[in-house]
Amino acid sequence: MTMAVEAAAPDDRPYSPGLEGVLAGETSLGYVDGANGRLLYRGYPIGELVVKGNYPAVANLLWTDTWEPGYHLPTAPVPAQVIGVLRSLPKTAKPMDALRTAVSAWGAVSNLPWPPTDEQARAITSFSPSALAAFARLRAGLEPIDPDPSLNLVEGFLYQLKGEKPDPGTARALDAYFIVGAEHGFNASTFTARVVTSTRSDIASAVSAAIGTMKGPLHGGAPSEVVDQLAQIQDAEHAEQWVLDTLARGDRLMGFGHRVYRAYDPRAAALRKVAEDMPTRPDWLQKAIDVEDVVLRVLAEKHPDRALKTNVEYYAAPVLMGVGLTPDLFAATFSLARHAGWTAHVLEQAADNRLIRPDVRYIGHSERHLP
Ligand code: ACO
């Protein structure tokens, strides 16, 4: 006897491609107020945190909801097995691949029982800068440098990268970049970290998956392209023609526009001030400031109905160049900064966990049978 195959009932539940506008969780960590250009961590405005805080205190705020301005968080040593893994990578490996691999290897040699703890969050956040610095030195034919426990995390990272302690102005500038990069709601990498945690997997698995997500150029790649674009502009007088030509080709102006912000990105405002105060700012900073005015004017003329403003990546570029990082380290350095937010979200997810497992609408063949 044959059974008639029933056609599937149409699935007309709401669907938003890219989950845009979908509430997929609740958080007490960061508030991204795109309409008003506001970013709060645990209620504190990002501008105040940059002026009065440092990265360890901000990370501790995200993990524990307490404000301890003198909180000390040095970088941590890289276990010998992880150094062995980094030595085995080709010198041409991308820093994001090396960092993701180092975090994965660290997870394999660490004891990380469920549920994740503040201590685990601190451990991985202080391990990763040492691992990235070690890889950067190994690929240059240099030996890794042990952490100096008297230095706070960002100073320690620069010391282990370059072999000499940074001057306070340089350390302060990179610390400010780490603060503005620490947390930003349900961005793709943070959401990834929460999905991994929701399965009761460990914090190293969550962070290595988050690094893999941030590696994509739609997420972590813009500041190095800002450097490339500014290099193409001779000076501010030639900027307007360059902007018009770029738009006519259908290309995007890097460092402008944002999915959430309709007002000026508050992180860009904070980093512009940091860049202007840097002891070693790049000589093209003034050109960047002049070009920004031209770009904002042209974008406003082209898109009168859609506010396209400067985003964080525009002024991240001069800060990162000014502290002496090469553009191929920019995305991995952004990942180091985002460790505080990723791990805080891991803790928040674990504290009130429900497996994240959405539905999908099936659009394939109706049921059929092999001949
Ligand atoms: N340059 C030129 N035109 C732009 C730009 C830009 N930077 N951003 C948006 N537009 C235009 C688009 O071409 C589009 O025009 P159309 O309606 O005529 O087709 C319109 O503005 C809307 O663009 P969307 O892509 O829908 O805007 P969305 O807000 O989704 O995009 C994004 C956000 C991806 C950041 C975009 O602005 C962009 O590509 N910017 C450049 C890359 C960049 O700076 N990325 C870093 C973002 S910050 C971060 O990730 C930490």
Task: Spot the catalytic one: 184, 258, 339, 345.
Answer: 258
**pLDDT on residue 6:** 58
**pLDDT on residue 221:** 72
How many angstroms separate the CA atoms of 171 and 158, rounded?
8
How many angstroms separate the CA atoms of 362 and 366, rounded?
10
Cβ(242) to ligand 1 under 6 A? no
Q: Which of 175, 123, 148 is nearest to 333 (CA)?
A: 175
User: Cα(325) to centroid of ligand 1, in Å?
Assistant: 26
- Does the annotation mark 339 as catalytic? no
Take atom 50 of ligand 1 and give the residue whose Cα is closest: 219
Alpha-carbon distances, residue 41 vs 30, 65, 87, 189 (angstroms): 5, 9, 37, 18
Strands 30-33 and 44-45: unpaired
Query: Residues 35-38: contacts with CB within 8 Å, 24+ apart?
Result: 35/262, 35/263, 36/263, 37/261, 37/262, 37/263, 37/264, 37/265, 37/266, 37/309, 38/266
- Does the annotation mark 313 as catalytic? yes
User: Cα(292) to centroid of ligand 1, in Å?
Assistant: 15
Cβ(302) to ligand 1 under 6 A? no
Tens of pLDDT along the chain (371 residues) come to: 445 555 567 889 999 999 988 999 999 999 999 999 999 999 999 999 999 999 999 999 999 999 999 999 999 999 999 999 999 999 999 999 999 999 999 999 999 999 999 999 999 999 999 999 999 999 999 999 999 999 999 999 999 999 999 999 999 999 999 999 999 999 999 999 999 999 999 999 999 999 999 998 888 777 788 999 999 998 888 999 999 999 999 999 999 998 889 999 999 999 999 999 988 888 889 999 999 999 999 999 999 999 999 999 999 999 999 999 999 999 999 999 999 999 999 999 999 999 999 999 999 999 999 99
**pLDDT on residue 222:** 72
Helix (H) or strand (E) holding 31: strand 30-33
Q: Report the predicted TM-score, pTM, of the whole model to 2 decimal places.
A: 0.93
Cβ(262) to ligand 1 under 6 A? no
User: Cα(257) to centroid of ligand 1, in Å?
Assistant: 5
